Amino acid sequence: MRYFEVTKGRRFSAVRVGMVLALLLLPAAYGRTAHAVSCTTGAALAGDQRSALFDAAHQLGGAVLRGDAAALKAATIPSVAGNFDGIAATVQGLTAQLQGATLTVTSLYGLNADDLKGSEDDVQFFCSVPGAPLLVTVTLSELPKGQFALAILHATGVPQAQQFALILQNTGTATPHWQLAGFFVRPLTMDGHDSTWFWQQARVFKSRNQPWSAFFYDQAADYLARPADLFTSNNLQKLSRETAAVEPAGLPGKNPMMLPAGDRSFAITGLRADATLHALDLRIDAKVESVSDPVTARKDALTLMTALLQQHPELRSNFHGLWVYESTAAGQTFAVEQPMSALVLP
């Protein structure tokens, strides 16, 4: 198995910008074939197995709430515990905002990979409850044979509620011994609103022919509803189809989006919702030649903001403000945020 470090949130800047998470298992692309594996939802697990998983998940989540990285490390499989700095930094960063939070284990999934012949790429576990319409799919890559589980926990009752997705591995023999094998954290809300609210608002924007707002609100809804990229469901697939249907042409991806502004053009490399200041902004990442002069860099950022609002005036009423992050090839950066009320169009 490989060991990975990734930055939190590829499509969104959440409250903790640039947080590093340590992962054992890399999420793989949805839609590939699984081999010799099975999933059992929490309600269908045997009572003793469900209790053991619940207790392990609650103890690990409790360590996160307390900011007790040492206890979390002690309950982590060796291959992850040996490089624990990312998880430790994440836990320490969460401590202040989760003081007094209520911890709830919301979902458990037993992932049986005992019949794998060896380490498998792109292993999918299909999890369903007989008679219920919801189908959850958990996709892991480079998975060895063994017993695993996914536990989803919510830390609520605080302004910045969070959700944890824990990958657990059974390292016991006669008696199950569940240890942490992967850790993911995401917010449950942005700007005080949950996934359902963003999805509903996106549909309102679609009805108003405001595709830019609809697209970014759909993305926010997906980000908040998905505990980790390895997790999907038929509901999330429906949301993904709605998002794809409204996606504006020419958004930055492999190539930047060129935004004309007067006698020049800006190369925009990223656009995403941002709740860093606890209000919903739209973040714009742009490549520039230099940011050495703060006065010029700020002027360029304001010019870029104005040009974007001129092209897409719907954004003014649906976001609190705009962030511009300018970066150079040498890695220098300059950032500025402006509320919509401060941006005056010519």
The model's pLDDT over 230-249, given as tens digits with 9 standing for 90+, comes to: 999 999 999 999 999 999 99
Beta bridge partners of 149: 110, 168
Q: Residue 165 in contact with residue 227, Cβ under 8 Å?
A: yes
Q: Residue 145 in contact with residue 113, Cβ under 8 Å?
A: yes
The amino acid at residue 45 is: L
- If one compares 344 and 126, the residue with the highest pLDDT of the two is 126
Closest CA to 279 of 315, 308, 321, 314: 321
pLDDT tops 60 at residue 70: yes
271 exposed, middle or buried (CB, 10 Å; 0-12, 13-18, 19+)? buried
Q: Give the confidence band of 3 by pLDDT, cuts at 50, 70, 90.
A: very low
Q: Residue 161 in contact with residue 170, Cβ under 8 Å?
A: no
How many CB atoms within 10 Å of residue 197?
Answer: 17
pLDDT tops 60 at residue 6: no
Q: Residue 226 in contact with residue 275, Cβ under 8 Å?
A: no
Q: Is 157 helix (H, G, I), strand (E, B) or coil?
A: coil
What is the distance between the alpha carbons of residues 56 and 280, in angstroms, rounded to a whole number?
35
Q: Give the confidence band of 1 by pLDDT, cuts at 50, 70, 90.
A: very low
Place of tokens 């291959």: 79
**CA-based torsion, 191, 197, 198, 201: positive or negative:** negative
Task: Look at residue 26 in the predicted model and tell me its pLDDT.
Answer: 40
E strand or H helix that includes residue 117? none
- If one compares 1 and 323, the residue with the highest pLDDT of the two is 323
Token pair recorded at residue 341 = 């009320």
pLDDT tops 80 at residue 68: yes
Q: Give the confidence band of 262 by pLDDT, cuts at 50, 70, 90.
A: confident
- If one compares 19 and 141, the residue with the highest pLDDT of the two is 141
Task: Look over the chain and give the mean of its residue pLDDT values, rounded to a whole number.
Answer: 87
Q: What is the CA radius of gyration of the chain?
A: 22
DSSP assignment letter at 96: G
**pTM strictly above 0.75:** yes
Edge to edge, what strands does the sheet with 20-23 contain? 4-7, 20-23, 178-187, 162-170, 146-156, 102-113, 38-41
Closest CA to 334 of 295, 307, 308, 306: 295
pLDDT per residue over 293-314, tens digit each? 999 999 999 999 999 999 999 9
What is the distance between the alpha carbons of residues 300 and 304, in angstroms, rounded to a whole number?
6
DSSP assignment letter at 60: H
Task: Name every residue whose Cβ is closer than 8 Å to that of residue 58 and which is 6 or more positions away in sequence.
Answer: 103, 105, 153
pLDDT per residue over 23-61, tens digit each? 344 443 333 444 578 999 998 888 888 999 999 999 999
What's the distance, CA 307 to chain centroid? 29
